[in-house]
Structure 1
Amino acid sequence: MTTSAAPPGTATLPPPEQPSILLDTAFLRLWAGATASGLATWALPFVLGLAVVDRTLSATELGLLLAARTVGFLAAVPVAGVLADRYSRRGVVLWSGLAAGAAAPVIALGVDRSVLLMAAGAALAGAGQGACRPAYQALTAEVVDPGRRQQANAAMTLAVRGTVLTGPSLAALLAVFLHTRTLLLGIGLLWLVSACVPGRGARRTDERAEQDNDAATSLVAQFREGVQEARRHPWFLAGLGALTAVIATGYSATGVVLPTVSRDDYGSQAVLAGAVTAYTAGALIGALLIARWHPRSAGWVALTGLALYGLAPLSLLLPVPAAVVLAAYAVAGIGIELFNVPWFTAAQREVAPDKLARVSSLDFLLSYGLAPVGLAVIAPAVAAFGAEPVLLGCAVVCFAAPALAALAPGARTFSRQPSRGR
């Protein structure tokens, strides 16, 4: 079944009399916790990168720590999806935040002493990060009523993008006065905020009725139930495939090639910094736009936004002024939030409530989990074939994958329900 409460064709229209989501105390607590987790997730690799700059870590050691964090993330995501559906989503948020918070002093203790200890802490931090993602996604559906979830998801992504835009300057400033260990402990405090600030969601009527049966079912079997639920929504599988393709190619290609293009074609790293800033600023604009815009063909609009990322590798392929590269990244940023917010909102609306965390974990597992694979493949491909054909191929994938996804049943509205026309 689906959780859509409105007639087909009107499910995305919020009741006009509802107050702003920013006046909802329960959501603000959830928002503060999710913002803290997002900031902590972003801050760890940045702070470790600063440690390389001041020679506390080597580049090889940094790579080991980031790999350990990724392994922890990928291992925890599917397990957390099952636990968040079987037990309290709030409880999973609590324990994942506490685990990631406990990892920070472990990493700090290993600085200048033991890389293996730091790697163990990084793996634990990654596990906490991975566990909280599907739990927060499902908890949002419990805390926020259906008519305001798009606004809530936009507010969530605004906070994340805002920290990415302002965080590097703040972290670099703090690094002038504070040691790496102190910054790591600060990350641990952010995780404590993430663990403790959010409140409980509405009690799920199905939660206790099926708990005994769930407890007797293996984690693998329960995760498989989440996969089966995802298969009931062709638009979801198609959209997830498109998102995974864009991240594995477009994101990875620009991550590998952009620094080189900035240095070799434009003579400095200014284009690299400018493109990253333009992308984040564009994402902020996109989130503000989609917070109030409820297009009838929300799925097609979202997939069009996702396809706009193809402009990023395309701009690096062509001999264009630096301003064009920055504009392309800004448009790509707008597009990614035109996709993200309706995508999360549709999953919260359409997926069976007792399987939402598992379906969300499948989303994060594929879309984010395959990103390192893309990075690992793109660099050798550039070395073997050159940057131009790789960028062209990535741009084609970024445009073609969302276009193909738009042909899937239900893709027009991100819903299994038929629309009522245009």
Structure 2
Amino acid sequence: MTTAPPPSASGTGGPGRSVLRDVAFLRLWTGNTASGLATWALPFVLGLAVLERSLSPSALGLVLAARTVGFLAAVPVGGVLADRRSRREMVLWAGSAAAVATPLIALGLGRSVPLMAVAAALAGAGQGACRPAFQALTAEVVEAARRQRANAAMTLAVRVTTLVAPAATALLAIVLDARGLLFGIALLWLVAALAPPPGGPAPTAAGRERAGFLAEFAEGVAEARRHPWFLAGLAALTAVIATGYSATGVALPLISRDRYGGEAVLAGAATAYIVGALIGALITARRRPRAQGWNALAGLALYALAPLSLLLPVHPWVIIAAYVITGIGIELFNVPWFTATQREIEPGKLARVSSLDFLLSYGLAPLGLALIAPAMNAFGPEPVLGACAAVCLLAPAAAALVPGTRRFSNEPHGSAAAGNAKTP
């Protein structure tokens, strides 16, 4: 039996009240949005520094690699600490660490690449540590009947900022150099650290003797293994990101340049993906299919359209349409996936299980990017894109065969019903 989450400490209203009118949720939404915008902005601003010639391309790669290492190292640590202590406290310390580290990146810009790399690793650690804490804090602040709408609002904010932020940053770059923009990112991290509301009490029972870090993380892994639908969904998500996402990330710029003679298709497809994700988030805010897990996995399988659209010399609008559908599909998966995890996982282990989710799904993406380019050089883009499309179709289909994936729940009719309850 799934342990019920503790009542919200923030005094959220009943299920008849819109989540968007709740002050506690809006504070959480603001903090999460600020962290997402700061996370996106760093590589973009450092790219501007390359254009300013205050940073070399090789130094940019080193700094971004250091950030990725910091992120991957901190995700499991953040998950354990967020379950051991207050989730709100974890967000505060993680956001503050990133806020302190970002000005150090600005200080090293044009002066010391090692300083920038160390500071980027610390910023990445703050980013990684706050991810599972935000996931668990959402379950504390928002009651179960309204979490799907809350998660949809979270992802809507991320997609909107991703859509408008490049233009906004380019406008700011007229009056600010890369160093000034980095200080702006530090301010975003301060908002992420300070804005979220208090959550519930620390999940670990008082007086319980604490195990070591590895033992506590192993408890999270054991909790994940208790939910076969979670392992199956995570395996499918990881496979799609490591193949489809990585393949199109490498192939799309090349095909846009070589087949269509410029960057227009690349820019159009990237924008179409975000627009599709916005549509998908709006759909999931309202829609509650009975077989929610299968519906989510079908949405994930739509990612196969992205590599398929790049296989043949089709009209550019075919690629644009494919990326719109792909964006819709990824949010048809993401929102129910986050909601089911918050509903089904034992509350005291939620941050650790969420950290496992981020560690595998996002952690293997760089590996996929590193392997796709040599594979395309060795076998050509068409076989690689075809293989990636097959994985994107077959991995979710295989996951759908696992018990519990129909509703993303171990209980065929019980706790899943809460996720299907009508909300305003």
Q: Does the alignment reach a TM-score above 0.5?
A: yes
Partner residue of 2:208?
212
Deviation of 1:286 after TM superposition, in Å, equals 0.2
Contact map agreement 2:80 2:351 (CA 8 A) in 1 = yes
Secondary structure of 2:248's aligned partner = helix
Which of 65, 68, 91 is 2:66 aligned to?
68
Q: 1:233 to 1:173 in 2, by over 3 A?
A: same
CA distance in structure 1 between the aligned counterparts of 2:4 and 2:193, rounded to whole angstroms = 30
Contact map agreement 2:15 2:146 (CA 8 A) in 1 = no
State how 1:173-188 maps to structure 2 within 5 Å.
Answer: 173-188=171-186
Which of 188, 191, 206 is 2:189 aligned to?
191
CA distance in structure 2 between the aligned counterparts of 1:357 and 1:16, rounded to whole angstroms = 25
Contact map agreement 2:86 2:200 (CA 8 A) in 1 = no
Deviation of 1:146 after TM superposition, in Å, equals 0.3
Deviation of 1:16 after TM superposition, in Å, equals 9.7
Secondary structure of 1:409's aligned partner = coil
Which AA in structure 1 matches 2:50? V
CA distance in structure 1 between the aligned counterparts of 2:283 and 2:99, rounded to whole angstroms = 34
Partner residue of 2:422?
none
1:305-356 per-position Cα deviation (integer Å, ceiling 9, x unaligned): 0000010000000221000000000000000000000000000000000000
CA distance in structure 2 between the aligned counterparts of 1:301 and 1:396, rounded to whole angstroms = 19
Deviation of 1:203 after TM superposition, in Å, equals 2.9
Which of 30, 37, 40 is 2:38 aligned to?
40
CA distance in structure 2 between the aligned counterparts of 1:16 and 1:199, rounded to whole angstroms = 18
Q: 1:358 to 1:146 in 2, by over 3 A?
A: same
Q: Work out whether 1:350 is the aligned partner of 2:347.
A: no
Partner residue of 1:274?
268
State how 1:298-337 maps to structure 2 within 5 Å.
Answer: 298-337=292-331
State how 1:133-172 maps to structure 2 within 5 Å.
Answer: 133-172=131-170
Partner residue of 1:11?
none
State how 1:119-134 maps to structure 2 within 5 Å.
Answer: 119-134=117-132
CA distance in structure 1 between the aligned counterparts of 2:201 and 2:91, rounded to whole angstroms = 16
Deviation of 1:159 after TM superposition, in Å, equals 0.4
Q: Where in structure 1 are there 5+ consecutive unaligned residues?
A: 6-14
Contact map agreement 2:302 2:329 (CA 8 A) in 1 = yes
Partner residue of 1:396?
390
CA distance in structure 2 between the aligned counterparts of 1:389 and 1:415, rounded to whole angstroms = 37
Deviation of 1:202 after TM superposition, in Å, equals 2.7
State how 1:98-117 maps to structure 2 within 5 Å.
Answer: 98-117=96-115
Deviation of 1:3 after TM superposition, in Å, equals 3.7
CA distance in structure 2 between the aligned counterparts of 1:37 and 1:17, rounded to whole angstroms = 27
Which AA in structure 1 matches 2:180? T
Which AA in structure 1 matches 2:64? L
1:375-396 per-position Cα deviation (integer Å, ceiling 9, x unaligned): 0000100111110000000000
Partner residue of 1:2?
2
Contact map agreement 2:4 2:347 (CA 8 A) in 1 = no
Which AA in structure 2 matches 1:32? T
Normalising by structure 1, what TM-score? 0.95
CA distance in structure 1 between the aligned counterparts of 2:363 and 2:412, rounded to whole angstroms = 32
Deviation of 1:72 after TM superposition, in Å, equals 0.1
Q: Work out whether 1:415 is the aligned partner of 2:381.
A: no
Secondary structure of 1:255's aligned partner = helix
Partner residue of 1:203?
201
Number of residue equivalences: 409
Which of 191, 215, 237 is 1:243 aligned to?
237
CA distance in structure 1 between the aligned counterparts of 2:4 and 2:101, rounded to whole angstroms = 39
Q: 1:17 to 1:181 in 2, by over 3 A?
A: closer
Secondary structure of 1:266's aligned partner = coil
CA distance in structure 1 between the aligned counterparts of 2:264 and 2:339, rounded to whole angstroms = 36
CA distance in structure 2 between the aligned counterparts of 1:185 and 1:252, rounded to whole angstroms = 31
State how 1:79-94 maps to structure 2 within 5 Å.
Answer: 79-94=77-92
Partner residue of 2:223?
229
Normalising by structure 2, what TM-score? 0.94
CA distance in structure 1 between the aligned counterparts of 2:52 and 2:396, rounded to whole angstroms = 42
Secondary structure of 1:213's aligned partner = coil
Deviation of 1:4 after TM superposition, in Å, equals 5.7
CA distance in structure 1 between the aligned counterparts of 2:391 and 2:2, rounded to whole angstroms = 31
Which AA in structure 1 matches 2:46? L
